[in-house]
């Protein structure tokens, strides 16, 4: 098992406009299969860690959701977690991305390790299992929505 790091490009992440924030999310991150299909990630149990960006020095995330808009295809088992570099599943627990669905927290779910007083990177970790590999992906896309708050300025993180 090997891990392959990928950094999400600026064009695939954005702060949401006020009208879009109505549902309680401040940021959107789009990850297409092509970002995960690292050519050298050919092992059946390889992982791909996508760095979404850095959090501010004093932060809180109080809402997280992933919308799989196109099911991932090309491998027999692929899961994703969303969190930080220190707690990779802090915001969204491990779930398959092979079916178009919505994943993540709602008002009854408690986010774990969702505050800190030191900057950390946001990550989405994709784990392949059983047959296939990340390099074999042929389709898939998802959007991750987070409500990131900069507690140092008591506002939404830009």
**CA 19, CA 39: separation in Å to the nearest integer?**
39
pLDDT top residue among 111 and 119: 119
Domain coordinates in residue numbering, the chain: 3-156
Question: Above 90 in pLDDT, residue 31?
Answer: yes
Determine the average pLDDT of the residues in 6-29.
84
26 three-class SS: coil
Which has the closest alpha carbon to 4: 84, 124, 100?
124
Reply yes or no on domain 3-156 having CATH 2.60.120: yes
pLDDT-above-90 percentage for the chain: 55
Whether residue 146 contacts residue 81, with contact meaning beta carbons closer than 8 Å, is answered with: no
Q: What is the pLDDT of residue 14?
A: 83
Please count the other Cβ atoms lying within 10 Å of the Cβ belonging to residue 7: 12
Please give the average per-residue pLDDT across 42-54, as a whole number.
94
Report how far residue 54's alpha carbon sits from residue 35's, in angstroms, rounded to the nearest whole number. Answer: 18
pLDDT at 117: 77
């Amino acid at each position: 098992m090997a891990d392959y790091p990928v950094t999400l490009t600026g064009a695939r992440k954005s702060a949401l406009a006020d009208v879009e924030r109505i549902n309680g999310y401040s940021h959107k991150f789009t990850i297409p299969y092509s970002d995960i299909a690292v050519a050298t990630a050919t092992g059946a149990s390889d992982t791909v860690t996508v760095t979404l960006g850095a959090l501010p020095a004093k932060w809180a995330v109080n809402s997280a959701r992933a919308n799989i808009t196109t099911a991932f295809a090309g491998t027999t088992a692929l899961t994703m977690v969303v969190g930080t570099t220190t707690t990779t599943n802090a915001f969204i627990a491990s779930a398959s991305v092979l079916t178009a669905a919505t994943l993540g927290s709602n008002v009854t779910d408690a986010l774990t390790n969702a505050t800190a007083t030191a900057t950390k990177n946001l990550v989405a970790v994709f784990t392949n299992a059983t047959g296939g590999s990340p390099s074999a992906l042929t389709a898939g896309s998802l959007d991750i929505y987070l409500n990131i708050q900069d507690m140092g300025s008591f506002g939404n993180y830009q």
